[in-house]
Amino acid sequence: MLGTILWSLRQTLKLRAHRSQLPPGPTSTKTGLARPWVYFREVSARHGDVALVPGLSSGGPTVVLGSARAAWDLLERRGAAYSSRPRFVVGGELLSGGLRGLMASYGPFWRRWRRTLHSGFMQRKSTSYRPIQRLESAVLARDLLVDPHGFRAHLERYAASVIVLVTYGRRVTDVASDEVVRCNIEAMERLTSVNIPGKYAAERYPVLKYVPAIFAPWKAEVLKQRQKDIRMYMGLLNDIKDKVARGVATPCFTTHLLEEQEALGMTDLELAYTAGSPFGAGIETTSGTLASFFLACVEFGHNFIPRAQEELDRVVGRDRLPTFEDMDDLKYIRAIASETLRWRPVAVLGGTPHASTADDVYNGMFIPKGSTIIAPLWTSKSPPTSYYRLFKPERFLEERDFPGTLGHAAFGWGRRVCPGMHLATASVNLNIARILWAFNVTPAKDEKGQNIEVDIFAFTDGFNSSPLPFPCSIKPRSAHHAEVVEREARQALTELASYEGKEEKS
């Protein structure tokens, strides 16, 4: 506690000494923000590409980057000084016990965690998961054919099954009845809800973490969730350890971690949380992105679906679903996927905030060591009526004024970029191709036969953001397309049966 006080005092003196060089910004900030990205966009529009916002975190100022260029210059080009994390009192310490690498500061634990995640999800390794994605994608297409109204549940099941197969070696056939998936969704909802900048006073005044839970209901809820998380992650790890001991484990990311545990120097609890990293992040991001794609189809599909289906018919034909091998020739489909990631990124705050580990000067502005750096993806100074309202895949077929090679920042920046980006991109590309090959996605009709309007800005609150429920019409392009979907789904389920043996069900 004394160390925190001394650090805050040093920061205050440093800020006073460099007052004339500090970035511009509001003199006070809003707290209890449900949708901070909206507030940050207002701050950037008023104060510029680099703005200082006081009172959001402990230990140092918060700097909001209001353009992709500023984020690239600092988080990518100067990544060595901007790859740490700020202190997360509620989400990192109270909820996670310092065991989530996502929120770990730059140091040995984080480097070990990062190296481990990359070994399981780097680009070359992620291609080995494509058979799973291909098979589950065929099942998703069948689910959309049989029950189009339940499309959100089908997207969640697909995303959950892929990530659970990759991580733990077993399928998910129904999200609602799968206790592990439901517990994980609850854990992620809690994590993303507590990580909203400015939500808890304890982030600004860390001494509040020591208030007994009996006098702090918010703390009691967080600690209760932490115990649930530990039981879930350790239960999953112990289940895999038991199967390994009996020689019946399906090779997966967790079996890889157990093989490398001694070399990694991780305890069982550290290993359990590490295995849970892709499990936690992969479901909401993939299903949320595909939900945004459906929303774009409803609102803008008349502009891009005909061109996409022409490309699919020309490259793929009518007698099979698209495959990963087709992707090099499906340039417009890839552009639609990239535009979806740009248009409505799930990690709307640009991922977990960064922290600077050295004093820096950028465009004449002083950024002190220990600053919290937020690069929200909604801080473009263009109003929502242009950049975030329009869905235009063609922008990815043209020269783009956006730094880097992706044309978007949906997976974050610099050394903290999402380790699962290759797996997620593959899922988004393949499923968009197959959905548009098999179906016409259009606005739902009311009882009078009129299109039901949707709100393209109606998204959930929290650290991650996905579309709120909306209606749409999903119909097969023809009876022949429906037959192909049914045929390939039957074959996929036959191949997936090996992941549903009694050992996996036990």
Dump pLDDT digits (tens) for 166-201.
999 989 999 888 887 888 888 887 887 777 666 788
pLDDT of residue 2: 57
Taking 70 as the pLDDT cut, the residues of the chain under it are 1-18, 30-34, 55-59, 123, 196-198, 280, 379-387, 462, 500-506
Q: What is the pLDDT of residue 382?
A: 46
Q: Could you identify the residue written with the tokens 């065991």?
A: 99
pLDDT at 8: 60
Place of tokens 């975190």: 57
Give the three-class secondary structure for 366: strand
For residue 173, what pLDDT is reported? Answer: 92
What is the per-residue pLDDT for 35? 75
Half-sphere exposure of 114 (CA within 13 A, CB side): 17
pLDDT value, residue 13: 65
Residues in the chain: 506
Q: Check residue 503 and give its pLDDT.
A: 41
The boundaries of the domain holding residue 304 are: 2-505
Query: Are the C-beta atoms of residues 104 and 85 closer than 8 Å to each other?
Result: yes
Counting the structural domains of the chain, the total is 1
E strand segments, 363-497 = 365-367, 372-374, 439-442, 473-476
Q: What is the reported pLDDT for 502?
A: 39
Cα 69 from chain centre: 22
- Tokens in use for 103? 């929120």
Quick one: which of 401, 428, 412, 281 has its CA closest to 348?
412
Using a cut of 0.85, tell me whether the model's pTM lies above it. Answer: yes
pLDDT at position 147: 98
Nearest-angstrom CA–CA distance, 85 and 60? 12
Helix (H) or strand (E) holding 305: helix 268-315
SS3 for 65? strand
Q: What's residue 4's pLDDT? A: 57
Q: Which residues contact 123 (CB under 8 A, 6 or more apart)?
A: 422
pLDDT of residue 17: 64
Q: How far is CA 430 from CA 5, 32, 324, in A?
A: 52, 39, 7
What residues contact 242, with CB distance under 8 A and at least 6 apart? none
Here the CATH number for the domain that contains residue 388 is: 1.10.630.10
What is the rounded distance in angstroms from the CA atom of residue 351 to the CA atom of residue 377?
9
